[in-house]
Amino acid sequence: MRALGVSSDTSAFEVPAAIGADGRLTPDCARQAVGMIDRYGVVVLTGLLSDEEAAFGLDLVRQTIADPDRNKCAFASETDNRYLRRDFCSLPTSAPVVSFAATLCQRLEGVIGEYCGRSRPLLEVATFTSYIGSSHQYLHRDPAGVISLFAAFEDVSEEQGGTVFVPGTHMYGGAGNHHGGQAYALMELFRARANWLILKHNLAKLRAMRTDAATPLAPGEFRDRVCSSKWDLHQPNLLRFLTGKNAQFSLRDLAPRALWRLWREGAGLDGKFRLVQTAPRKGSVILYRSDLIHAGPDNRSPAPRRFFGMSIARDMIETKYWHDGYSPDPSLTANPLTFGDLLDAPPLPRPASRHLSAVGE
């Protein structure tokens, strides 16, 4: 979205993965990654997965999507899921899934372990697939107290829509003291302005889709997206926007006082905050704090965008808030797993093609 001024340059937030003989990130690499998360709330670890591991993960995603009985996620955009614009679904805690999750946790122990104790619960393992015609999410924060990751099993293009982040907007003790003590208020102004542009973008896109043979709207889809009374926090729903019933963005976010502050702050907001869209390469893993402002953009490419995702609690989370942003598979609900369980579980076999000599072993 050009109107949002999104940058696709993530070089300032990338750390090349250096893996030791034990299959884990080297201490120096882990320190760099932790420093990125502490400062920006996000890090992109490039080359964390081998080609064989990425292929294994991609096969897990494809098998899940092919299952007609898969467990669809109840967050993000239910309307997109309903009309097959996205396919967000949780993964069962089968042996292959647990082994893959264990591989990621063990490799990233030096980073995730800085934030999550062994007793902290695994909240979700899921796949996130978006197709052409999907909606652009509003900028939002997920429930606090969580470390999340996305793993890319294929190269992701800008058009396919890698996650958009606002680096440095995570919440921690003293964060609100920045920008003259107005950091959080300015973050919300920045978010409101961006979400207004996202609302306009989604409405214009829907109008175009009514006559576009490449992305035809299904019967009832336009109504459900624009003026439905159904709950969905990430649709350009004018009815819920005008009645103030959308917790992510509604008319109350553009009250006279907010508009006055937006006019007064103006372009100065762009000097304080910036939008960065990740377009990760195959084998990259994005780690981020759940309270960092972010959004899942629309897919503007005919090629599906597939991500593997996993979230682990950093702190105690009430169950009702847990389900605001995460959809555990029934198998995970019935048999909970912790970060420690994944550290102790059998990982995937080490790929023979991994050249450890490249990092000094």
User: How does pLDDT run across 197-215, given as a tens digit for each residue?
Assistant: 999 999 999 999 999 888 8
Among 55, 65, 222, 74, residue whose Cα is nearest residue 135: 222
- On whether the CB atoms of residues 214 and 131 are closer than 8 A, the answer is no
Q: Is the pLDDT of residue 1 over 70?
A: no
3-state secondary structure of 123: strand
- CA 132 from centroid of its chain's CA atoms: 18
Residue bearing tokens 């979205």? 1
Q: Is the pLDDT of residue 353 over 70?
A: no
Segment 132-160 shows an average pLDDT of 93
Own/partner pairs, 10-15, CB within 8 angstroms, 24+ separation: 10/44, 10/276, 10/278, 10/279, 13/40, 13/42, 13/43, 13/44, 13/167, 13/276, 14/43, 14/44, 14/45, 14/46, 15/43, 15/44, 15/45, 15/46
Segment 159-169 shows an average pLDDT of 93
**Residue 357 — very low, low, confident or very high, per pLDDT cuts 50/70/90?**
very low
Segment 289-318 shows an average pLDDT of 92
Q: What is the pTM of this model?
A: 0.93
Segment 300-324 shows an average pLDDT of 86
**Residue 161 — very low, low, confident or very high, per pLDDT cuts 50/70/90?**
confident
Predicted pLDDT of residue 186: 94
Q: Is the pLDDT of residue 359 over 80?
A: no
Give all strands of the β-sheet with 164-165 in edge-to-edge order.
Answer: 276-277, 164-165, 294-295
Least confident window among 17-26, 264-273, 349-358 = 349-358
**Residue 114, token pair as written in the block:** 């800085």
Pairing outcome for strands 42-46 and 14-16: parallel
Residues of the chain with pLDDT > 90, as a percent, come to 73
Give all strands of the β-sheet with 42-46 in edge-to-edge order.
Answer: 14-16, 42-46, 285-289, 146-152, 305-313, 122-130, 86-90, 71-72
**Residue 181, token pair as written in the block:** 């003590």
**Residue 71, token pair as written in the block:** 């467990």
**H or E element: which one contains 111?**
helix 109-112
Predicted pLDDT of residue 99: 97
**H or E element: which one contains 229?**
none
Tell me the domains of the chain and their CATH numbers: 2-174+278-359 (2.60.120.620)
Predicted pLDDT of residue 244: 92
Predicted pLDDT of residue 354: 52
**Residue 66, token pair as written in the block:** 């092919």
344 torsion bin: left (phi>0), alpha (psi -120 to 50), beta (else)? alpha
Phi–psi pair at 347, nearest 5 degrees: -85, 180
Least confident window among 23-37, 241-255, 319-333 = 319-333
Phi–psi pair at 154, nearest 5 degrees: -140, 160
The residue among 359 and 107 whose pLDDT is bigger is: 107
The residue among 237 and 75 whose pLDDT is bigger is: 237
Q: Report CA dihedral (150, 154, 155, 158) to the nearest 10 degrees.
A: -60
Predicted pLDDT of residue 5: 81
Predicted pLDDT of residue 90: 92
Segment 93-122 shows an average pLDDT of 97
Q: Is the pLDDT of residue 351 over 70?
A: no
Segment 226-243 shows an average pLDDT of 91
Residue type, 231: W
Q: How far apart are CA 87 and CA 98, in angstroms?
A: 21
